Amino acid sequence: MPPRAVFGGHDPFRRGRRQREFLAGGGNSGIVYLGSNSPAATLSTVSTATRNLGFVNGSIYFTETGSGLGVMAFAGAPRSAATPTLVLSTAGTGTRTPSPKGFAFNTGLTIAYVADNRTAGTGGGIQRFNWNGTAWAYAYTLGYTSNSSQQVWDMTVDFNGPSPIIYAVTGESSGNHLVSVTDTGRALPTQSSRQPHPAPPSVAWLLPRVK
């Protein structure tokens, strides 16, 4: 069955892949298993707005803005119907309704990032969360540029060094950018000399562009 047929004529937003197993998620069609090891199946339609998805320590995680705002996860990687739970909420970050897209967790599940594609002035950017022992707690937001209508949509994070290095894609309609920043774990990481804007409390402004 073509992916557009599975998603009611809408293109899937994101596919996750592990070996020969494929997953897709898009809009209100939920998460669909499209692997070759089991018959195609809809895992869940609990979310009315599935966005990005991927594997975290072997479990399926995805962002959504329907039944919850933030990152939801399944227990493991099911191949048939299952119920995910909201593991990280982005509600209450900034103003207006949160709009989580890309995400990344370190393997120890102590640091998480969520790319929120609201504008910087309403809370958008790369949101950092820390695990406090019982829940994910919002720490601060790494914005794109101050007073900017430009948005951060997707990202990946290199957790191998002493400080995470974030690579993000911005969402301009044309001439968008690949940007990066090293998160030192403070609200004000080192700023580019080309972007000397002062940062308001709890917000740090990215980002030198990657040449």
Cα(113)–Cα(191) distance, integer angstroms: 19
Tokens standing for residue 105: 């967790």
Structure confidence at residue 19 (pLDDT): 57
**Chain segment 33-81, per-residue pLDDT in tens:** 877 777 788 887 666 677 888 889 989 898 887 767 889 899 998 888 8
**Strand partners of residue 44:** 31
Type of residue at 177: H
**Chain segment 85-102, per-residue pLDDT in tens:** 899 999 888 888 888 889
Structure confidence at residue 50 (pLDDT): 79
In this structure, the number of other CB atoms found within 10 A of the CB of residue 199 comes to 17
Tokens standing for residue 89: 């909420």
Identify the H or E element spanning 6: helix 3-6
Structure confidence at residue 46 (pLDDT): 66
Structure confidence at residue 79 (pLDDT): 84
Of 57, 24, 20, residue with least CA distance to 38? 20
pLDDT for residue 211 is more than 80: no
**Chain segment 133-142, per-residue pLDDT in tens:** 999 999 988 8
Cα(141)–Cα(206) distance, integer angstroms: 10
The DSSP secondary structure of 10-63, one letter per residue, reads: PPPSEEEEETTEEEEE-BTT-EEE--SSS--EEEE---SSEEEEEEETTEEEEE
Which is it for the CA torsion 115, 121, 122, 127, positive or negative?
Answer: positive
pLDDT for residue 152 is more than 60: yes
pTM of the prediction? Answer: 0.77
